[in-house]
Amino acid sequence: MERLSMFLVILAALLIPILMARFKITGVPTAVAEIVMGILIGKSGLNIIQTTPELTQLSSLGVIILMFLSGMEIDFDLFKPGSSNDQNRWSPVKLAGIAFIGTLVNGLILGLILKFTGLFNNVFLSVILFSTVALGVVIATLKEKEILSRPMGQTILLTAVLGEVVPMFALTLYASLNGGNGSQIWLIVLLFLAAIFLLRRFKQPYIWFNQVTKSTTQLDIRLAFFLIFTLVIIAETVGAENILGAFLAGMVMKLLEPSEATRDKLTSIGYGFFIPIFFIMTGVRLNIRTLLANPQALMLIPVLVICFILAKAWAFPVCRLRFKRRNAFAGGFLTVTTITLVLPSLQVARNLHTITGTQSDAFILAAVIVCILAPIIFNSQYHLDREDLIRQRVVFLGANTLTIPVAQQLGRNWFDIRMVTDDEKNYKTYNSQVDNLKYFPNLNEQTLAENDYFNTDILVTGFRRDDKNISFSRMAKDHAVNRVIMAQVNRTSDEKQLQTLGEQGVEFFNPFNVEASVLRSLIESPAVYQMLTSTEAGLFEVRVRNHKYTDRPLMDLPFVDQITISRIRRGNQWIVPTGGTTIEYNDHIIFTAKNLGTVATIRRELSKQN
């Protein structure tokens, strides 16, 4: 029977994604489907699964790896001052902070109400459970909607990060106080010190690991599991929860800046084997029959569902400060999603005997219900705004025959274009041809700063005078513009100044070099010249930002028969591709295509940041 139980759980883990794909069930998170499957084959359903020591151990490993991967999901750059170019009064960081503080307040009020009515007496645990957000489910939903890097996506993501980090540490405090280890809380500091030590110890060696690792050693994966078990053992030794150690291990691994390939391998190990067992066994252990036989517990389920929703209700008016009503409602409701931390929290509470099995099952069922509802409502209600579709913001300084055609073409491809000129004649000539063209007779650094022109992803200095281009390029770099492109009009420009700008990261466009290259191509390679000048064909570049197409061989691309890929630039390395060449995140693909409509579609699809 024990071997049969193991076989059935593994079979269920295999069948769930197959059935979801077959019946096109996309609105329900896989974790919820796995819990539902566990309910069907467990105590509440067919009762064909026996809880064996092996399944219990694998389930425990599943929750540890789940917490580790959750720690790896945190983007610490989001919390750095000036990390975002978003200068809106209500930035994602502000909105997420206010929303989560409101969630904590609402959770406290709801916990007190439950205690006053006699439905649930543990207020501290209520606050922890009501404030949690399922970070993994939220990220998957935002990626599917392709708004993870957009203002709304960043706001929801930051709220979810707070909804995982803060309750995690609160759970450790709760376990210490209720486990009789209150006097040893200070020992938990040792856990953080160990995490810092491991981070500092492996920061430099990790770079070397990536250089010497091979398929038979997988040093990056071995290091990940070393971090997991080291911090889990230390956590248990100092009286903290093992999931806190796993979570910190994930944060340490994230700070080591693992490659996309390493992240994918760890995700494959976790979600391919261990984590599904944890979710399925959670459903197996649920006893809905006991709940149905207990009127008070049965009444607790809808009350808890309402509490989970009301706890996050503050997110809606907060998102409304910046976003449209419909999207604010959808985004706020997505934060209701909770399952990841609820399950281990309830497991800790059961081990401490601070919650009954019936109450625990009621909380789990309520979390499953809201985890089904939240993504479905978000996907049905959220509509992409213009700021969700904008790829990059580009500012052109100078309106002339060089910059105007480029601005027109980019504007049609969802780039946010702004142009500035100090030539009144050019302004009158081109004002009707380009949106958002401004004229300033006295164009200087103060004018650009006051009108927020340095708040951009790319700034192009396209004046017909090199001294102006050099001056404004230097200003842009002083204001920390990420990319500055300078048109060099005169071949005899000051080489020393250009060298200094180049060292600062300024990129140069030399029309005379382009002309020379085109003439040489006409002489040496007429076919290349025809390709460059033809209106039906061209050489194009796209940066792969869509995770949907990463870690896949070129031959598997759905549009590979419509293009010819000549080169792939990966970092500073050029790769001559074959059909089996695997695409990685941030690869620059150089390709040709005869149909310009196909080019636009492919560039848009591959460059989507999700």
Higher pLDDT, residue 369 or 539: 369
For residue 594, the domain's CATH number is 3.30.70.1450
What Å distances lie between residue 581 and 475, 544, 578, 598, CA to CA? 42, 14, 5, 22
Q: What is the pLDDT of residue 606?
A: 84
Portion of the chain with pLDDT greater than 70, in percent: 88
**546 in a structural domain:** yes
Domain boundary among 515, 543, 562: 515
Is there a single domain that holds both residue 287 and residue 432? no
pLDDT, mean of residues 207-220? 76
Confidence at residue 126, expressed as pLDDT on a 0 to 100 scale: 94
Q: Are residues 206 and 239 in the same domain?
A: yes
DSSP annotation string for 325-354: HHHHHHHHHHTT---TTHHHHHHHHHHTTS
Judge whether 403 lies within some domain. Answer: yes
Counting Cα atoms < 13 Å in the Cβ hemisphere of 450 gives 6
Whether 372 and 400 map to the same domain: the answer is no
Single-letter residue type at 466:
D
CATH (domain of 437): 3.40.50.720
Non-local (6+) Cβ contacts of 110 within 8 A are: 126, 130, 307, 310, 311
Higher pLDDT, 33 or 433: 33
- The answer to whether residue 524 sits within a structural domain is no
pLDDT confidence of 319, banded at 50, 70, 90? very high
Whether residue 26 is found in the same domain as residue 111: yes
Kindly report, residue by residue over 18-32, the tens digit of the pLDDT.
998 888 887 778 888
DSSP string, 276-297: HHHHHHHHHH--HHHHHH-HHH
pLDDT at position 228 over 90: yes
Q: Can you give the CATH number for the domain in which 125 is found?
A: 1.20.1530.20
Residue with tokens 């959220």: 382
User: In the listed set 353, 388, 423, which residue is the last one of a domain according to the structure?
Assistant: 388
Residue 84 counted as domain residue: yes
Same domain, 356 and 397: no
Both 286 and 314 in one domain: the answer is yes
135 confidence band (pLDDT: 50, 70, 90): confident
**536 pLDDT above the threshold of 60:** no
Q: Examine the domain organization and report whether 121 and 262 are in the same domain.
A: yes
- Per-residue pLDDT, 139: 80
What is the residue range of 271's domain?
Answer: 2-388
Select the more confidently predicted residue: 408 or 249: 249
Instruction: Report yes or no on 526 lying in a domain.
Output: no
**pLDDT on residue 420:** 94
In this predicted structure, what is the pLDDT of residue 161? 86
The verdict on residue 528 lying in a domain is no
Burial class of residue 497 in the structure, from the number of CB atoms within 10 Å of its CB (0-12 exposed, 13-18 middle, 19+ buried):
middle
In a domain, residue 593? The reply is: yes
Give mean pLDDT, residues 46-53: 90
Does residue 543 sit in the same domain as residue 559? yes
| pLDDT computed for residue 107 by the predictor | 95
Least trusted range by pLDDT, from 115-129, 185-199, 392-406, 506-520: 506-520
> Which spans in 325-478 are helix H?
325-334, 342-351, 357-381, 386-389, 403-412, 424-430, 445-450, 466-478
Mind listing the pLDDT tens digit for each residue in 555-594?
A: 878 887 788 887 888 877 788 888 778 888 888 888 877 6
Over residues 136-179, the pLDDT tens digits come to 788 878 877 777 767 888 889 889 989 988 998 888 888 888 87
Instruction: Decide which of 329, 355, 388 is a domain's last residue.
Output: 388
Amino acid symbol at 384:
L
Is-contact 199 256, C-beta < 8 A?
Answer: yes
Q: Name the pLDDT band for 515 (thresholds 50, 70, 90).
A: low
Whether residue 582 is found in the same domain as residue 472: no
Same-domain status, 23 and 112: yes
Mean pLDDT throughout 332-345? 89
On whether both 11 and 37 belong to a single domain, the answer is yes
Give the start-end residues of each E strand in 181-339. Answer: none
Per-residue pLDDT tens over the stretch 289-309: 888 888 877 889 999 999 999
Does 278 lie in the same domain as 147? yes
Position 533 pLDDT exceeds 60: no
Q: Which residue has the higher pLDDT, 487 or 609?
A: 487
| Confidence at residue 544, expressed as pLDDT on a 0 to 100 scale | 87
pLDDT of the residue at 16 = 93
pLDDT tens across 423-444, in order? 888 888 888 778 889 999 989 9
- Please give the tally of structural domains in the chain: 3
The pLDDT score that the predictor gives to residue 239 is 75
Own/partner contacts of 138-141, CB < 8 Å, gap of 24 or more, are 138/334, 138/335, 138/337, 139/73, 140/29, 141/29, 141/334, 141/337, 141/375, 141/378, 141/379
Domain assignment present for 91: yes
Distance of CA 295 to the CA centre of its chain: 42
Q: What is the mean pLDDT of the chain?
A: 84
